[in-house]
A = this chain, B = another copy of it.
Amino acid sequence: MYAISGKDDMTIWTLPERPARGPKPVYSRAQITEAAIRVADAEGLEAATMRRVAAEIGTGAMSLYRYVPSRDDLLELMADRLTGELDLAGVPSGDWRADLTRYADELRAMWRRHPWIGGVRRSLPGLGPNQLVLIERLMGVLDPHVPIDENLGLVALLNGYVEGVVREEIGAAEQLRRSGLSEPEWMARSHAHVDRLVKSGDHPIFTKIVTEARRPHLSRDDQFRHGLRRVLDCVAAALPPAT
């Protein structure tokens, strides 16, 4: 009877945005989602509280509950909106390698635009409209070539690679942001600890990683593309030989 009734529904996606009678709603799910994303981009996911998001669109916290059953559902909406940012027009094109490269690049770019997406805990693949479109396009790339089980596994592999790499890329910056320290200050602090580990001599491979990381190497982009090529080779191996 109150707000949007989540009574019989498991996800937001089954709740219609607007019923019939009554005054015209002033806001909208899309507007609220947008505002939440704006806040998260600027100040991190933890800053995107109900009150803060409401203030962003110039209203009080409780007004949001006319549009969204809970904060978790709002996060779901945000995730779907972000999925919508992936530009996969024309996919599948027939060239699976190009398609998957395109997807990987888009996904990485999106993560870098919205690093907080890694903090949105989703226990199941989302069923929002944008996410459903993504499934059709992305899985459609390999669907003609492999059984669906195999396809799922390969896509999971690709996603895993991209996510892993991006998390690593983002990690340091995110931690820096949350520490609230200045960059040089933060660098000094963390280097101090790492240096102690290195000097101890007990961690030769860790040392190797660290010293390697400190000297110039391939650009992030090149590293990403290089690893991606390997993943795609791996995909190719799972395809029938004629493709």
Q: A212: which of B132, B148, B205 is its contact (CB, 8 Å)? A: B148
Asked whether B161 lies within 8 Å of A157 as measured between CB atoms, the reply is yes
Asked if A43 CB lies within 8 Å of chain B CBs, one says: no
A130 to chain B, nearest CB (A): 13
Q: Is the CB of A136 within 8 A of B206?
A: yes
Contacts of A149 in B (CB 8 A): 212, 217-218, 223
**Which stretch, A34-42, A51-59, A96-104, A230-238, touches the partner chain B?**
A230-238
For A234, the chain B residues whose CB sits under 8 A away are 230-231, 233-234, 237
Question: Is A175 interfacial (CB-CB < 8 Å)?
Answer: yes
A154 to B223, CA, bound (A): 12
Tell me, yes or no, whether A119 is within 8 Å of chain B by CB.
yes
A20 to chain B, nearest CB (A): 21
Q: How far is the CA of A178 from the CA of B196 in the complex (A)?
A: 42
Listed stretches A7-15, A23-31, A60-68, A77-85; interface member: A7-15
Q: Is residue A203 within 8 Å, beta carbon to beta carbon, of the partner chain?
A: yes
Query: CB distance A208 to B157 under 8 Å?
Result: no
Q: Which residues of B contact A208 (CB under 8 A)?
A: 143, 148
Known: A127-B197, A136-B203. A165 touches B174 (CB 8 A): no
A204:B161 contact, CB within 8 angstroms:
no
18 example contacts (A-B, Cβ-Cβ < 8 A) are as follows A10-B186, A10-B189, A10-B190, A13-B193, A123-B172, A125-B171, A136-B205, A140-B205, A148-B212, A149-B212, A149-B217, A152-B209, A153-B223, A153-B227, A157-B161, A157-B227, A160-B164, A163-B163
- Residue ranges of A at the interface with B (Cβ–Cβ < 8 Å): 8-11, 13-14, 118-119, 121-125, 127, 132, 135-136, 139-140, 143, 148-149, 152-154, 156-157, 159-165, 167-168, 170-172, 174-175, 178-179, 186, 189-190, 193-194, 196-197, 203-206, 208-209, 212, 217-218, 223, 226-227, 230-231, 233-234, 237-238
